[in-house]
Amino acid sequence: MMTYEETVTYLYNCAPPFQQVGGAAYKEGLSTTIALDNHLGNPHCRFRTIHVAGTNGKGSTSHTIAAILQESGYKVGLYTSPHLIDFRERMRVNGIVAPKEYVVEFVERHREFFEPLNPSFFELTTAMAFNYFAEQEVDIAVVEVGLGGRLDCTNIITPKLCIITNISPDHTQFLGNTLEEIATEKAGIIKCGIPVVIGETTEATEKVFRTKANEVGAPIIFTEDEEPLISATPKGSGFEYSTKNHGIINGELGGYCQEKNAATILTAIERLKQDGYNITEDSIRKGFTSVTKLTGLMGRWQTIGERPRTVCDAGHNIGGIEYIVKQLKAQECDTLRIVFGMVSDKDITSVLKMLPKEATYYFTQASIKRAMPAAKLQEKAAAFGLQGRHYPNVKSALSAAKTDSAANDFIFVGGSCFVVADLLANP
């Protein structure tokens, strides 16, 4: 029998993940997923689910809802992607990652069936997670969409609640070039009679969501209409939320995007309560204040050092970087230093246009094939007035930034979740 490390290497080699090879890993359609699910005895039918789609905020929203539900006494599965350090981060029960033995045994037991199918990495991982949740007899699983929604392999579930956080340009080679096209793909998770919470809209995307919900008879709740937040005030490294229904809530997560996420989460929680879920005030507060401890969430405006204060964030597309740039510009510091890398298939030009010109840059690349070479990124950035040097890996770039820093400087590490993954794996 293979070791855990050998098993993960085997998975990467037989079905390379999207995070490693990009578009080559993408498989459209649900036929392989359905075949895997049938082989396993349809495990997704043995527990309730909440389905979370959207361009940004899926991870924070999924983790916080899972934290609130497990604090309410439910046994909660949590399926998210990509992982940052360990493959098993993708499948957790009450915040604890799946055992190494489970991953090894699943592959050994089922490889004879799935190898001829040639599943994608995400198809195989989804089947593995759903099977794990069924074996663990979870009460409910929070399932984050991998890419899009309509043809994402998580879309075999019939959830109790759908959530779509927001829409902005990302993965346009698969989902379309306009917000309407992207919204149409993500609206594919909306199902007959299943309520859907929409986090943020534009005039164009709201029309798409309303049309789809009307087509399938799904109750639709717009967070912007509910107005669950009265205010959000930075407090410590997080936020103090004044809410319509729950008084003051302290949120642990500190990125500017978390205000929108918090509103979406609170709207979803109200809907779950209406549907009979026993969610207490105390569990809501604890879910917000302790989401990283309860679920293992990492890389969301995460402080990793002081003097100079050093923060990382996994935001990696136009919508995510937009929030990060606002936050960077608000930092009170002597010198802003940015350790930055991106993958080649993102809209790099649009991101570089947004970044602050007054910062000192340390361009780098994550340890994946999709990473844009640091020297090439430096060259592209120079065209937008962004000045700095390039480094072969994240560790050396951060080391240089720290060496150059005074105590009152501020270092940001980001541009890609894979840059953050390298950082957290090699502190």
Whether residue 225 is found in the same domain as residue 306:
no
Handedness of CA 97, 100, 104, 106 (dihedral sign): negative
Helix and strand element counts for the chain (H, E): 18, 17
Phi and psi at residue 49, in whole multiples of 5°?
-140, 155
Predicted pLDDT of residue 12: 87
Q: What is the rounded distance in angstroms from the CA atom of residue 334 to the CA atom of residue 328? A: 12
Whether residue 244 is found in the same domain as residue 315:
no
Give the mean model confidence (pLDDT) for residues 96-115. Answer: 96
CB 272 within 8 A of CB 159: no
Q: What is the CATH number of the domain that holds 63?
A: 3.40.1190.10
Whether residue 251 is found in the same domain as residue 340:
no
Whether residue 86 is found in the same domain as residue 12:
yes
- Decide if pLDDT at 206 tops 50: yes
Whether residue 357 is found in the same domain as residue 405:
yes
Whether residue 266 is found in the same domain as residue 312:
no
- Decide if pLDDT at 28 tops 70: no
Predicted pLDDT of residue 370: 87
Give the mean model confidence (pLDDT) for residues 119-135. Answer: 95
Residues facing residue 196 across a β-bridge: 162, 220
Helix (H, G, I), strand (E, B) or coil at 369: coil
Q: How many domains does the chain have?
A: 2
Whether residue 269 is found in the same domain as residue 312:
no
Predicted pLDDT of residue 176: 53
Predicted pLDDT of residue 169: 56
Handedness of CA 239, 240, 243, 245 (dihedral sign): positive
pLDDT in tens, 161-184: 999 999 875 544 545 568 888 899
- Decide if pLDDT at 98 tops 50: yes
pTM of the model: 0.94
Whether residue 104 is found in the same domain as residue 249:
yes
Predicted pLDDT of residue 19: 44
Is pLDDT larger for residue 82 or for residue 287? 287
Q: What is the rounded distance in angstroms from the CA atom of residue 311 to the CA atom of residue 15? A: 33
Give the mean model confidence (pLDDT) for residues 244-263. Answer: 96
Predicted pLDDT of residue 18: 39
CA distances from residue 357 to 130, 335, 336, 401 in whole angstroms, order as listed: 46, 12, 10, 17
Whether residue 37 is found in the same domain as residue 157:
yes
Short-list 291, 399, 403, 224, CA closest to 413: 399
Predicted pLDDT of residue 170: 52
| Domain termination residue (choose one: 295, 314, 329) | 295
| Domain termination residue (choose one: 242, 274, 295) | 295
Q: What is the CATH number of the domain that holds 412?
A: 3.90.190.20
pLDDT in tens, 33-63: 999 999 999 999 999 999 999 988 999 999 9
- State how beta strands 302-305 and 309-312 pair: antiparallel
- Decide if pLDDT at 415 tops 80: yes
Q: What is the rounded distance in angstroms from the CA atom of residue 348 to the CA atom of residue 381? A: 9
Strands (E), 252-355: 302-305, 309-312, 336-340
Predicted pLDDT of residue 20: 47
Give the mean model confidence (pLDDT) for residues 314-326. Answer: 89
Whether residue 43 is found in the same domain as residue 95:
yes
Q: How confident is the model at residue 24 (pLDDT cuts 50, 70, 90)?
A: very low
In the chain, the percentage of residues whose pLDDT exceeds 70 is 95
Q: What is the rounded distance in angstroms from the CA atom of residue 383 to the CA atom of residue 335? A: 21
Give the mean model confidence (pLDDT) for residues 210-215. Answer: 97
Whether residue 257 is found in the same domain as residue 329:
no
Q: How confident is the model at residue 27 (pLDDT cuts 50, 70, 90)?
A: low
Whether residue 269 is found in the same domain as residue 317:
no
145 CA to centre of own chain: 9
The DSSP code sequence of 225-279 is HH--EEEEEEETTEEEEEETTTEEEEES--STTHHHHHHHHHHHHHHHHHTT---
Residues facing residue 390 across a β-bridge: 363
Predicted pLDDT of residue 172: 45
Domain hosting residue 415, numbered range: 302-425
Give the mean model confidence (pLDDT) for residues 361-376. Answer: 95
Q: How confident is the model at residue 263 (pLDDT cuts 50, 70, 90)?
A: very high
Is pLDDT larger for residue 412 or for residue 148? 412
Classify each residue of 56-68 as buried b or exposed e, where b means 16 or more C-beta atoms within 10 Å of its C-beta. bbbbbbbbbbbbb
CB 147 within 8 A of CB 171: yes
| Domain termination residue (choose one: 295, 316, 338) | 295
CA distances from residue 224 to 206, 215, 230, 263 in whole angstroms, order as listed: 11, 22, 12, 8
pLDDT in tens, 237-251: 899 999 999 999 999
Cβ atoms within 10 Å, residue 237: 13
Give the mean model confidence (pLDDT) for residues 15-30. Answer: 53
Least confident window among 153-157, 166-170, 257-261, 264-268: 166-170
Packed helices 58-71 and 258-274: angle between N→C axes, nearest 10 degrees: 40
Short-list 361, 398, 403, 395, CA closest to 378: 361
CB 57 within 8 A of CB 260: yes
